[in-house]
Structure 1
Amino acid sequence: MKFTNGYWVVRDGFSANFAAQAYDVREQNGTLEVYAPVKVTKTRGDSLNATLLTVRYSSPMPNVIKVKVSHYEGSYDAGPYFELNSDSSFKPAISISEKEASITSGNLTANVCIADFWKVTYTNDKGRQLTKSESKSAAYMVKHSHPQEHMFYSDELPFMKDELSLGVGEYVYGLGERFGSFVKNGQTVDIWNADGGTASEQAYKNIPFYMTNRGYGVFVNNPGAVSFEVASEKVSRVQFSVPGESLEYYVIYGPEPKQILERYTALTGRPALPPKWTFGLWLSTSFTTSYDEKTVMHFIDGMFERKIPLSVFHFDCFWMKGFHWSDFIWDEETFPDPAGLIKRLHDRGLKVCVWINSYIAQRSYLFKEGMEKGYFIKKRDGSVWQTDLWQAGMAVVDFTNPDACKWYASKLRALLDMGVDCFKTDFGERIPEDGVYFNGADPVKMHNYYTFLYNKTVFNLLEEKYGKGNACLFARSATAGGQQFPVHWGGDCESTFESMAETLRGGLSLGLSGFGFWSHDIGGFEGNPPPAVFKRWLQFGLLSSHSRLHGSNSYRVPWSVDEESSEVAKKFAEIKIKMLPYILEAAEEANKTGVPVLRAMMLEFPEDPSCAQLDRQYMLGSKFLVAPVFSEDNKVSYYIPAGKWRHYIDGRELNLECGKWFTEEYDFMSLPLWERV
């Protein structure tokens, strides 16, 4: 959110209260407390009619400093709150002198200037400045409905903000699964989950965390609407703001990007380790296509006949009747023997996934039951919140109600008892911002946080049924901490090279936001992929952590495009099986450290400046460099860092003393796939 008109002037309708100085500083139980008036205080009279900000610095674990900036501390906060971890035995070092106060956590120090104007500098153990909050950074901002007499009206909208500086050549990454530019400099990013596809500034997975190539990351601890101005309002600063009377954020030191992710996921939760079978190829019915058991078995027979390795079969929405989503009852006209069908799929060596969501259509038998028991989000008048957007008259399950969670899980448990192995937890973004929740939670903050409770409920059920290490979701929406419930996929993309590239950018950004596992719809979701797009996307999809064939209104069995697609699918599914030991090593690393399986080049080669902006290639684990082909003419330009490399398909070897760019041409049976040796 922009509060200024240019650099100097505050926007019309706003008033600004910038921290001016550290007037009073003290230590309280391991916390550095700083009292910052918004004007320099020289006399006793300056303390009258004055706004005072309270800034507290503490540390939940080594190399992480928590900052909380508050105005009115009597304001009510109904939650929800991110589930964060801390090391209760760790105590930071705090010192206070005449000119400066500091708090040191591991190799990270926050230095608060006392002798002069407001300035907080974050340095590493060598004294190198990482970033700073300075003049006109920390502030209490107010939007006025009555600008001339704002002190006498209570309908003012308060915001808290802070800004951290960016150095020359400093790039910002992360902020969730974002499909625009990989480097976020110059962007306004609003943390607000939306069902916007992959071709807009909206995102399904908004994460209020970014990292930079200067050795640190920043996590804003607010599950609601966080707005980032990334070198946009002020080109040498990142501003982050939230509505309300307080702002809390964490500065996380690396210095290596992998260490930043390790510490961020230590704070917000590490990705669970998906079972081995999930890393194979998934085949879907697609969304609105016509299918029954005969169709399903025809697809599977076709895959087996063409010797395309297959691990999972997925039933999308219409395994249930239209207008009934979600009632979790198989459409008996299409699938008269679902238990028998699942057994037959298991006998073929396949796992079974079914589509679900947390929206209950009015025609579903669950609607009356959920309404009578109070299991849905409500309106302020106590009635059920409903909409016709997606399913007629649908309600939304209220996961802040423990009984509603048990009720929802009990309906899914019947499917697990039937033999279903995992669930695709679709949606979770279209959540009302004016709803009333069982636990009284703030509906604005619940808009993003809802997906955490939704996916946690389903994931916990799967772990209860199949045991830890054997649970897997295929989820679309997420917020911070959602990485604990893998796998996530990229949502609704178009069937074009451009959409394939934006999908990769989304995956790279999500990986730099703490998510270890990620997938996408091979060939694109919307439309019918041209053969060239489909075959190149097959390569990309089968060289991702998880691989799924899925579409909207057309099938995604490879031969539905052309027979060469079947050959490409077979070859790259076999390559993935051969590479699986390395991929599983990377998966275990993701589980232990938060470092993703599909990695941006800058994550694996932070010392190489040529890797800082690369977004059309990636590392699969630490060993394999993959450069998908995004062109009809089969040409691809890509960069290989210094080192010894061997082409995994054609066996060529390189020994590069320094990084080098290549422009090459590949047929559909190959692409740049280089192994570090």
Structure 2
Amino acid sequence: MILRPLKHILLSLSIPEFETWLLCFKQTDKKPNRRRNLFEEAKKLDILVKDKCGEPYMVPNTAFDVGMLDLTHPDTAAWFKQVLQEMVDDGVKGWMADFGEGLPLDVTLYSGEDPISAHNRYPELWAQINREFMEEWKSARAGKEREDPEEALVFFMRAGFRDSPKWGMLFWEGDQMVSWQANDGIKSSVVGLLSSGISGYAFNHSDIGGYCAVNLPFIKYHRSEELLMRWMELNAFTTVFRTHEGNKPSCNSQFYSNHKTLSHFARCAKLYKAWYFYRTQLVKEAAQKGLPVCRHLFIHYPNDRNVHSLSYHQFLIGTEILVVPVLDKGKKNVKAYFPEGETCSWQHIWSGKLFKEHGSEAWVEAPVGYPPVFIKAGSTVGETFVDNLRNFGIL
């Protein structure tokens, strides 16, 4: 387990005290747990997936091998929930339920089912066990004392299949490169955000700044300060606002690197906080109707052919906020498209300028710290959002 302070990272959710990295893998004794050797416990209980010889199937994972929990075994859930309970008793309020997508296709499972078909079901079971623990923990506390939001629990995960949103609480998009790339960088995080949203994953987000850095003699990907700051601006308008140091922290600019990055982080956290009231509405709407918080424009403007050509370029928050993130290095302005079919104007939150021509494009200035964001003129949601920005001193 890796614990990192998280109170300021998931700002306004008011839930986790710690982010805990939790795997469906059980590591061998390269880094034994100080209290318990979970690998040996799981091996003794015979709840690890097996190879064709009946031995624990060892999966290479970076610098060490791991065994995978057999989530089809009837004893696995009870044992794993006991591990979760121990974490919660130690003060953990939230965790990253990582992996889940890597079940090998030649394992032997307790259930006897074909591992090829079980491969897609595995992340659903992984989400279900974590969610069941949440519900059981909540039920055990019912009636004992007045509900305290600080005592809530949350987990987020990256693996998924058809029924994963039924069990998962939050999702994130895995490990993007620390780059401006469209295929696996900041642009791809927007593509993933919007495509997953229309696939049932209403509460998704990415690591601020990306995750994968490369530091080889001829290939280097290091997170620049500019990329980090633009990613902060982007994620201030997703369901979760969460940083990550990345796989090579020393190669990456961090939110705590200097006064400039820390101040920008605080500014974007206020941006995120300013639409908390609307996010709460959209989360409820997602639970009732399945609509994602962050939406591709064609969901609300299906007859506008121009929005069909948009990919990572811009997106809606609900119906009242339009975000046009800066996703290219060195750019200080972006092209915004205002869809057809509106009866009101879009208002730029920083300048107050109104854009009345629907079905048209306009270049908008976007210095660092002022991501192009628009609200529907006269919208109660938009006005409240702008009022909050003023109250936070950033408008």
Residues in 1 aligned to 2:206 and 2:190: alpha-carbon distance in whole angstroms? 9
What residue identity is the alignment partner of 2:225?
Answer: P
SS for the counterpart of 2:59 is: coil
Deviations 1:288-326 (A, max 9, x none): xxxx9xxx67x98xx7xxxx99468xxxxxxxxxxxxxx
Match of 1:473 among 117, 136, 155: 155
Residue in structure 2 matched with residue 455 of structure 1 by the alignment: 127
Query: Distance between the aligned counterparts of 2:64 and 2:224, measured in 1?
Result: 34
Q: 1:492 aligns with which of 175, 179, 198?
A: 175
1:368 corresponds in structure 2 to: 40
Residue 660 (1) aligns with residue 356 (2): no
Residue 624 of structure 1 corresponds to which residue in structure 2? Answer: 321
Asked if the contact 2:94–2:153 (Cα under 8 Å) also holds between the matched residues in 1, the reply is yes
Deviation at 1:558, TM superposition (A): 1.8
Change (3 A) 1:390 1:429: farther
2:198 alignment counterpart: 512
Distance 1:389 1:351 in 2: 28
Distance in 2, matches of 1:557 and 1:357, equals 25
Q: Deviations along 1:433-475, whole A, 9 cap, x unmatched?
A: 1111111121001112111101210121122213599552220
2:255 paired residue among 554, 558, 574: 558
Q: Deviations over 1:15-56 (max 9, x none)?
A: xxxxxxxxxxxxxxxxxxxxxxxxxxxxxxxxxxxxxxxxxx
Measured on the aligned residues, the alpha-carbon RMSD in Å equals 2.6
Cα distance in 1 between the residues matched to 2:262 and 2:115: 48
The letter for the 2-side match of 1:362 is T
* 1:160-179 equivalence runs, <5 A: none
Deviation of 1:393 (Å): 4.0
Q: Partners in 1 of 2:331 and 2:83 — Cα distance?
A: 50
Alignment of 1:203-218 (within 5 A): none
Match of 1:634 among 306, 315, 332: 332
* Counterpart position of 2:19: 353
Structure 1 residue 352 displacement after superposition: 1.9
* Counterparts of 2:364 and 2:320, CA distance in 1: 21
2:302 paired with 1:602 = no
Rounded to whole Å, the distance in 1 between the matches of 2:240 and 2:282 is 12
Q: What one-letter code is carried by the residue in structure 1 that aligns with 2:319?
A: S
- Alpha carbons 1:488, 1:519 under 8 Å: kept: yes
**Secondary structure, in 3 states, of the residue corresponding to 1:558?**
coil
TM-score, normalised by the number of residues in structure 1:
0.48
Q: Within 5 Å, which residues of 2 pair with 1:196-207? A: none
Displacement of 1:566 in angstroms is 2.5
Cα distance, 1:639 vs structure 2: 0.6
Q: Distance in 2 between matches of 1:633 and 1:381?
A: 57
Of 59, 62, 69 in structure 2, the residue corresponding to residue 387 of structure 1 is 59
Alignment of 1:381-420 (within 5 A): 381-390=53-62, 392-420=64-92
Distance 1:391 1:427 in 2: 16
Offset of residue 380 of structure 1: 2.6
Q: CA contact under 8 A between 1:311 and 1:351: conserved in structure 2?
A: no
User: 3-state SS of the aligned residue for 2:375?
Assistant: strand
Instruction: Say which of 649, 653, 656 aligns to 2:350.
Output: 649
SS at match of 1:521: coil
* TM-fit CA distance, 1:478: 0.7
Instruction: Give the fraction of aligned pairs with identical amino acids, expressed as a percent.
Output: 24
In 2: Cα distance, 1:517 partner to 1:633 partner: 29
How much does 1:383 deviate?
1.8
Distance 1:472 1:412, change over 3 A: same
Say how many residue pairs are matched: 341
Runs of 5+ unmatched residues, structure 2: 143-148, 214-221, 380-395
- 1:483 and 2:165 are equivalent in the alignment: yes
d(CA) in 2 for partners of 1:648, 1:463:
40
Distance 1:650 1:463, change over 3 A: farther
Match of 1:536 in 2: 230
3-state SS of 1:480 partner: coil
Note the C-alpha offset of 1:604: 2.1
Q: Give CA-to-partner distance per residue, 1:266-304, whole Å, 9 cap, x none.
A: xxxxxxxxxxxxxxxxxxx9x8xxxx9xxx67x98xx7x
Question: For the residues of structure 2 that align with 1:394 and 1:559, how far apart are their CA atoms?
Answer: 33
- Is the 8 Å Cα contact of residues 228 and 254 (structure 2) preserved in structure 1? no
Change (3 A) 1:437 1:591: same
1:92-107 aligned at under 5 Å gives the runs none
Pair 1:508–1:350, CA change in 2 (3 A): closer
Partner AA of 1:647 in structure 2: H
Give the 3-state SS of the residue equivalent to 1:411 in structure 2: helix
Matched position secondary structure for 1:387: strand
Query: Which residue of structure 2 lines up, in the alignment, with residue 148 of structure 1?
Result: none
Q: Give unpaired runs (5+ residues) of structure 1.
A: 1-284, 313-345
TM-score (ref. length: structure 2): 0.80
Name the larger-Rg structure: 1
Instruction: Return the alpha-carbon distance in structure 2 between the equivalents of residues 565 and 392 of structure 1.
Output: 34
Cα displacement string for residues 509-549 of structure 1 (whole angstroms, at most 9, x for unaligned residues): 11111111011111111233222211111100111111110
Offset of 1:421 from its aligned partner? 0.9
DSSP 3-state at the match of 2:322: strand
Instruction: Determine the structure 2 residue equivalent to 1:584.
Output: 280
Map of 2:385 onto structure 1: none
Letter in 2 for 1:634: K
Contact 2:293 2:317 in 1 (8 A): yes
